[in-house]
Amino acid sequence: MADRLLYFPILPQPEDPGSERSNDVRLWVENFLIRSGGLATENEDEANAYLVAGGDGSFMRAIREKYEQGKVFLGINRGTLGFLLNPINCINDIPTTLDQITVITVRLMKVIFIDGSGNQHEFLAFNDAFCGGDIADFIKFKITGKLDHFPNREVSGNGIVISTPQGTTGYALKARGTSAVLPLDTNNWFVSGVATGPYPCDQVTPQEICVEVSSRKPVNGYADGHDQKVEDVAEMRIIPTSQEIAIGFMSNVDFAARRTSLAQLVERGG
């Protein structure tokens, strides 16, 4: 028999905004999944996978909190778009064995923001790192990499985003549309400007990247969105890590096509 999946459930707290969208999954867990010989367990140590219900933000938060546990993360979309989550609407669709999922291995990146006072703020990011201001701001960015042939650039605009392959977010999509969607199995990072002058969609080898900021107005930095925010950013550094994360996708879903379709929906303003 194929290796059995045993999940430790991670669900939003009832007081979290939008938590009611996950109520059906909560009932599945409470009434059916956690029982003798079931698919889920209340003992995190004996589980070999996490079952995460919510949106992409909840999924990223779970990964940042649990990345050291060496388990597969399988998400159930109960958010808006769910780029990284599985479209599971029936309890019987939850994969029960490893041969029912495709596992993609990705790596976290370290994000360091240095503020105007010289203080360093360090985070781990699963999706992307962004620094910028309001749409009307005029900010100068100097972007440099450590490896030869990195496309060093000096550009002006209102933001810079550096994304991992899994990091297709609103920042990247609004910057460059569907060209921001990288295959999940690529090793490249995506670098782009938001509301800058002509700026190609650079794909680069993961490496230490420095973004120096020059602005008369405060610039904010975000690592995986608002959960990890720093104000008055003078410099952003991105460093690859060796920490690998395993994400599970249903084998019967074409996730490459699904991600592109969702990206096109965002691009059209849907």
DSSP codes joined into one string, 149-174? T---EEEEESEEEEE-TT---HHHHH
Q: Convert the pLDDT of each residue in 5-37 to its tens digit.
A: 999 999 998 888 888 999 999 999 988 887 766
Closest CA to 77 of 30, 165, 12, 172: 12
Of the given ranges (41-45, 63-67, 103-107, 200-204), which has the lowest mean pLDDT? 200-204
In tens, the pLDDT along 194-212 reads 877 767 678 899 999 999 9
**Polymer length of the chain:** 270
CB 11 within 8 A of CB 26: yes
Percent of the chain with pLDDT over 70: 88
- Distances in whole angstroms, Cα of residue 182 to Cα of each of 84, 185, 204, 268: 13, 8, 12, 19
Strand pairing of 49-54 and 72-77?
A: parallel
Q: What pLDDT sits at residue 106?
A: 86
20-28: Cβ within 8 A, 24+ apart: 21/54, 21/78, 21/79, 22/53, 22/54, 22/76, 22/78, 25/51, 25/53, 25/76, 25/78, 26/53, 28/91, 28/94
pLDDT at 263 over 80: no
139 near 228, Cβ under 8 Å?
Answer: no
| Average pLDDT of the chain to the nearest whole number | 87
Query: Which residue from 243, 260, 187 is spatially nearest to 63, judged by alpha carbons?
Result: 243
What is the per-residue pLDDT across 48-93, written as a single tens digit (0 to 9) for each?
999 999 988 889 899 999 999 999 999 999 987 788 899 999 999 9
The yes-or-no verdict on residue 1 having pLDDT over 50 is: no
Per-residue pLDDT, averaged over 129-141, amounts to 86
Confidence band, pLDDT 50/70/90 cuts, at residue 165: confident
Residue 204 burial (CB count, 10 A): 16
Single-letter residue type at 71:
K
- DSSP class per residue in 70-116: --EEEEEE-SSS-TTSB---SGGGS--BGGGEEEEEEEEEEEEEEET
Q: Higher model confidence: residue 31 or residue 136? A: 31
Phi, psi of 57 (to 5 degrees): -60, -45
Decide: 51 and 94 in contact? Cβ < 8 Å.
yes
Q: How far apart are CA 253 and CA 22, in angstroms?
A: 21
> How large is the average pLDDT for residues 159-184?
66
pTM of the model: 0.84
Percentage of the chain lying above the pLDDT 90 cut: 56
**CB crowding 168-193: b at 16 or more within 10 Å, else e:** bbebbbebbebbbbbebeeeebbbbb
Higher pLDDT, 263 or 216: 216
- pLDDT tops 80 at residue 258: no
Say what the pLDDT of residue 180 is: 58
Q: Is the pLDDT of residue 182 over 90?
A: no
In the chain, the domains with their CATH numbers are: 7-96 (no CATH), 108-242 (2.60.200.30)
